[in-house]
Amino acid sequence: MAPLLVALLVAISGWWASSTVKSAMQQQLTSELQTILTADVTALDIWITTQRRMALALASDQEIRLMTQSLITKRVSTGDPSPASREEVRAFRSYLQDRLSPLGYSFMVVDRGGGIICGPTEELQAVQLPEPQRALFDRLFSSNQSVLITPYRPAASGGRTPLDRVFDRWNHPNREWKLEGEETPKAMAKASKQRQANRTRALETEGTRMEADRSESLMQVSAPIVSDGGEVLAALGLMIRPESEFTRILSVARSGQTGETFAFDRSGLLISQSRFDDQLRKLGLLKKTGRQSSALNLELRDPGENLLSNREVSSPPSSWPLTRMVSDAVGGGVGVDVEGFRDYRGVDVVGGWQWLPRYGFGVATKVDATEAYQPLAVLQWTFTTLFLMLLLCAVAMSLFSYLNLNLRQRVEEAALEAKKLGQYTLLERIGQGGMGTVFKARHALMRRPTAVKLLLPEKADPVAVGRFEREVQMTSLLSHPNTIQIYDYGHTPEGIFYYAMEYLEGISLKELVQEYGPLPEHRLIHILRQICASLREAHEAHLVHRDVKPANVYLCDRGGILDTVKVLDFGLVMDFREEGQSVKSKKRPLSVTGTPQFFSPEAIESPDSVDHRSDVYSLGALSYYLLTGEHVFEGQSAREICEKQVSESPPLPSSRMGLNYCSHLEGAIMRCLEKKPGARPQTVAQFLGFIESSAQAMAWTDEMAADWWDRHHVRSRIASHARQLDETVKIQPTIRVDLERRDVGKAG
């Protein structure tokens, strides 16, 4: 069992190590995700604050303030919605372009009515802002504070405004746009009208193409332009490409190959770009043609399954719920989950999230769970492999050990059967117990069959040898005919201890009941009379048997006297005299030995303080079994039986079996089964006196015994077995004297 126990220990160690490592990894992941989230939010705070300060600084520029006030004054005084002076607007545009173009901004100046005073092109003059943007600028005018407009997508071509078309050109600077003021050979060769027509067609064509291929998005930060008197004249709006800075900031701090950080609005719409646009196109969540980006095109919803493993979407994405992190964040929650949940691809991830009410969007960071827990998976795989290998080795070693032990026992038995123990030749094994093995043997000189009990070397520890010797010594003190007789004791040079005793031909009481059923009352009394006689001698010698049970009582034929009882196996015998008991109890730990069905209550509660009355209890349990064929108490385990022996009252044999028994016999048996030793018969002689008063006491005769033995062929089976054994063993002569060759001396 040792290899299997080692494998079990490794399995427990692996489970503990895996749990410990997982807990440590979860703590580390929580800290790492929180750190990334905090770093990204902090970076966004710094960037947005910088943008606002930049807008405020430009809006506070004295030249911008004067130009804005001049344009507004002229526009109001003339009542003309167009600029009062084309040259003044050009100068204003040029001034702003010189300062903002190097910084990567486009711009527009918006009055309090929502009209554009100045923009990057002339066609924006007097254009009104669309309603969503105008509402944000109204908030700016009322609060006199800068405003951040999160990423948005310009309108489709059917509803596209000049503002959208202008920022299309700004968002795609590498395309062949021909903006006003550009000097190219082609522009110079054409007339102004033709140039304008070409530019208009180019805008319309590009707008149509971008309707199917929308990837551009815009972001604004606006600041109030205030007059010297503190009046808000207009607002300066700075146009920012989200992908160039907003998305890039979120993509700086991310974990491993699958980590990403992104932003989303209250509806769950992604407002930054996903790291997995190529995957999303393959999954059909983005258009496969063109260059459509996930920003402003992907809603962060949970598909309910891993789309990378099963790419067939069973329901439309619009019916999916928001992912866990998004639904929690838009509700104002802040959290980190390292147990795992699904993202918008259905992949198990771990992540953290936070809603930013001051900006009106949320930020989340995540990483695939397989990557996050890869070290743990490697550790678990390693431990599993080692455990399976160790288990395989353990099973192989256990099987080998079992086969080796079995083979060694067979070899030892064969060796024992083939050799002699002193003057005894072993013939066959007739019994096996906890203390040793019993063989039928033959003495070399006396020729009589003998039973030899062996204590094999592997069991011959000091405690076992001491018990073995005590059994021989104590039993040798007894000479009653109903007690097994000891002939010899010794040990071989190989360390095999043995003792020889009389060989019994018959049947144990356990086999008798199992094979032929309960005993009739008159035969039971006949058998109990002999058991009591054997135990009486032992008790008078201050010895308690401690293992009185059916298997240790033999019914045999001794010299033609049938139903002769022999009490055997004094392996647990103990001297119960008080003068030696105190010493024993100090030297030996408490231990319960014997058979639970025949334990006395005191043998269970205080096994080293029992006396001869414990044997009386066992005798009562034995009588109960012989009379009914059932034990006094039954149970699923030895512990359960012992608890019943101590605490429960046994049922009457008559009520249990539904039969009428002799009241004297039944009463004597039940008195033996009293829990308190003082309530029992104090000696086996007293018990015998109770049962002798039964009317059935002398009803069993020798003729009945002979009839039973002949009817069940017990004697014939014993004789047949003896003949077979004699035919197997060739008897060698003990001594031979050659008289013919002996020298004869002459007289004289």
pLDDT at 511 over 70: yes
pLDDT of 174 reads 43
pLDDT of 230 reads 84
User: Comparing 632 with 163, which gets the higher pLDDT?
Assistant: 632
Distance in angstroms (rounded) separating the CA atoms of residues 426 and 452: 8
**From 42-56, 246-260, 379-393, the region with the lowest mean pLDDT:** 379-393
Distance in angstroms (rounded) separating the CA atoms of residues 516 and 747: 72
Q: Which residue ranges make up each domain of the chain?
A: 60-242, 254-309+319-372, 421-502, 507-707
Span 316-324, mean pLDDT?
88
Strand intervals (E) in 79-140: 106-111, 116-118
Write the secondary structure of 592-614 as one string of H (helix), E (strand) and C (coil): CCCCHHHCCHHHHHCHHHCCHHH
In tens, the pLDDT along 666-704 reads 999 999 999 999 999 999 999 999 999 888 888 999 999
Distance in angstroms (rounded) separating the CA atoms of residues 365 and 367: 7
- Contact between 554 and 568 under an 8 Å Cβ cutoff? The reply is yes
In tens, the pLDDT along 430-470 reads 887 766 788 888 887 877 788 988 887 767 778 888 888 88
In tens, the pLDDT along 591-641 reads 556 788 999 999 988 887 889 999 999 999 999 999 999 999 998 888 999
Amino acid at 453: K
Span 114-138, mean pLDDT?
77
If pLDDT is split at 50, 70 and 90, which confidence band does 154 have?
low
Write the secondary structure of 469-500 as one string of H (helix), E (strand) and C (coil): HHHHHHHHCCCCCCECCEEEEEECCCCCEEEE
Average pLDDT, the chain: 79
Structure tokens at 420: 């002699």
* Dihedral over Cα of 67, 69, 71, 77: its sign: negative
Distance in angstroms (rounded) separating the CA atoms of residues 364 and 269: 13
First CA to last CA across the chain, in angstroms?
81
pLDDT of 415 reads 57
Write the secondary structure of 495-518 as one string of H (helix), E (strand) and C (coil): CCEEEEEECCCEEEHHHHHHHHCC
Distance in angstroms (rounded) separating the CA atoms of residues 522 and 519: 8
pLDDT of 600 reads 92
User: What homologous superfamily does CATH list for 421-502?
Assistant: Phosphorylase Kinase; domain 1 (3.30.200.20)
- Contact between 58 and 238 under an 8 Å Cβ cutoff? The reply is yes
pLDDT of 595 reads 83
Residues whose CB falls within 8 Å of the CB of residue 334, separated by 6 or more in sequence, listed in order: 353, 354, 355
What 3-state DSSP class applies to 651? coil
Dihedral of CA atoms 282, 288, 293, 297 in degrees, nearest 10, equals -90
Same fold, 421-502 and 507-707: no
What 3-state DSSP class applies to 572? coil
If pLDDT is split at 50, 70 and 90, which confidence band does 177 have?
very low
Give percent above pLDDT 70 in the chain. Answer: 78
Residue 223 has phi, psi (to 5 degrees) of -135, 150
What 3-state DSSP class applies to 566? strand
* Dihedral over Cα of 514, 516, 520, 526: its sign: negative
Residue with tokens 């606002």: 52
Tell me the C-alpha to C-alpha distance, in Å, between residue 428 and each of 64, 449, 503, 555: 121, 11, 12, 21
Structure tokens at 105: 């901004």
pLDDT of 533 reads 94
Span 108-137, mean pLDDT?
78
DSSP 109: E
- Contact between 162 and 123 under an 8 Å Cβ cutoff? The reply is yes
Among the four given CATH numbers 3.40.640.10, 3.80.10.10, 3.30.450.20, 3.40.1000.10, the one describing domain 60-242: 3.30.450.20
Among the four given CATH numbers 3.30.70, 1.10.3470, 2.40.50, 3.30.450, the one describing domain 254-309+319-372: 3.30.450
Residue 331 has phi, psi (to 5 degrees) of -85, 5
Residue 337 has phi, psi (to 5 degrees) of -125, 115
Among the four given CATH numbers 1.10.510.10, 3.40.50.920, 1.10.1060.10, 1.10.357.10, the one describing domain 507-707: 1.10.510.10
Angle at 33 between CA 32 and CA 34, to 5 degrees: 90
- Contact between 353 and 363 under an 8 Å Cβ cutoff? The reply is yes
